[in-house]
Amino acid sequence: MNISSIMHCRRTIATGCALVCLLASGVYAQTPADALLMKGKEICIAPFYTHDTWNKYWEGSLLRENQNIGQLTRNTYSLMLGYGITDRLNAFVNLPYIRTSASGGQMKGAKGIQDLSLALKYSFLLRESMGFQWNILGTVGYSVPVSSYLSDYMPFSLGLGTSEYSGRMILEARHKTNIYFRGTTGYMHRTTTRAERDYYYADKGYYTDIMDVPDALSIDAALGAFLFDHRLQLECYYLHQNSLSGDDIRRQNAPQPTNRMNFQSASLYARVYPELIKGWSIFANYGQVINGRNVGRSTMVTAGMTYQFFTKKQTL
Q: Domains of the chain by range and CATH?
A: 6-310 (2.40.160.40)
The model's pTM: 0.88
pLDDT in tens, 153-176: 999 999 999 999 999 999 999 999
Mind giving me the DSSP string for 130-196?
TTEEEEEEEEEEEEEE-S---TTSTTT-SS--S-EEEEEEEEEEEETTSEEEEEEEEEEEE-EEE-S
pLDDT at 3: 53
pLDDT at 252: 81
Distance CA 249, CA 223 (A): 34
pLDDT exceeds cutoff 70 at 30: no
* More confident call, 68 vs 285: 285
pLDDT band at 36 (very low <50, low <70, confident <90, very high): confident
Strand bridging mode 280-293 / 299-310 = antiparallel
pLDDT at 276: 85
pLDDT at 316: 54
Point out which residues pair with 133 in neighbouring strands.
Answer: 128, 174
> In the Cβ-directed half-sphere of 58, how many Cα atoms lie within 13 Å?
21
Using the 8-state DSSP alphabet, how is residue 314 labeled? -
Residue 47 belongs to what H/E stretch?
strand 42-54
Using the 8-state DSSP alphabet, how is residue 41 labeled? T
Distance CA 180, CA 53 (A): 31
List phi, psi (to 5°) of 273.
-110, 100
pLDDT at 5: 43
Q: What is the mean pLDDT of residues 93-102?
A: 97
Asked if residue 293 lies in contact with residue 60, where contact means CB atoms within 8 angstroms, the answer is yes
**Of 13, 9, 36, nearest to 23 (Cα)?**
13
pLDDT at 314: 64
Asked if residue 83 lies in contact with residue 90, where contact means CB atoms within 8 angstroms, the answer is yes
